[in-house]
Amino acid sequence: MKPPRKPVIVSLGVAAAVLAAAGAADLTLAHVARHRVEKAVACRLHPTGPVGADLESTFAGLRAVSGDLGTVHVTADGVKRAGTDLNVSADLRHVTRKGTRGGTATAVVPYTELRKRLGGDGAFTFGSDGSDLVLTGTVGSLGLPVTVRTATTTTRNSVTVTPTTVGVLGRDIPVADLSGTGMGSGLSDRLKPHTVSLAHLPAGASVVSASAGHDGLAVHLSLSPMSARTGGNAPRCV
């Protein structure tokens, strides 16, 4: 004789209802937690653009009840540091009421902003060859098209862009040799190394590297573990 199937069906129905209830509760709690994170990010960074937060751990909303959000991805546009506007995205590990275990972040300096910081006079357009910063424009009375390739170096709180070669008429000329060409020393004077200071990064953030992307110069940062009390006299953000 076959065993009755009704208890199995009932059990499955109860399990489905419990999972559905847990999922609904998780979504509600996750929405509240995301809002609180976004509010805290806006309080700390004072961005002029939108702020976003994503809770990337499973059942992050339910985990928030115990004060542990797991991994959180945050974004903030228009963050001003040392006179430079940045668009910031960060992955924070093990976010709790006590702080985080650190993480990584990327601060993108838009090319329009970078050109202002590097003393650009509008003669060059800033872009990328996939990894390095490239400047394109024209020089001389004939308006010869040129491509300037650069090298990017970093310290823990700055990025330096150094023009290395100028491509013109199929030739790559080192910037140091420009004075011996028909383009004269005027161009070489405009292609000096320039440093973008990021001295006012949040506590525990250090520059690791930089690369040129589609939208701007991406500055990659490491974030040390941070206590919720980190920040000295900074405003309390909840």
Q: Which residues contact 204 (CB under 8 A, 6 or more apart)?
A: 102, 223, 224, 225, 226, 230
For residue 77, report the phi and psi dihedrals to the nearest 5 degrees. -100, 145
Residue 115 included in any domain: yes
Task: Provide the number of structural domains found in the chain.
Answer: 1
Residue 201 included in any domain: yes
3-27 burial code (b ≥16 CB/10 A, e <16):
eeeeeeeeeeeeeeeeeeeeeeebe
Residue 169 included in any domain: yes
pLDDT by residue for the chain (238 residues), tens digit each?
Answer: 555 554 544 444 344 433 334 444 445 566 677 778 788 888 888 889 999 988 766 555 545 555 677 788 889 998 887 777 889 999 988 877 777 788 999 999 898 888 887 765 567 889 998 878 999 888 777 778 889 999 999 999 899 999 999 888 888 888 888 765 555 556 766 788 888 888 777 778 899 999 998 889 999 999 888 765 554 444 556 5
Residue 53 included in any domain: no
Query: What letter does residue 201 receive in the DSSP assignment?
Result: P
Residue 144 included in any domain: yes
Structural domain including 171 reads 102-227
Residue 2 included in any domain: no
Tokens of 106: 């990327």
Q: Please state, in angstroms and rounded to a whole number, the distance separating the CA atoms of residues 12 and 21.
A: 14
Residue 219 included in any domain: yes
Residue 65 included in any domain: no
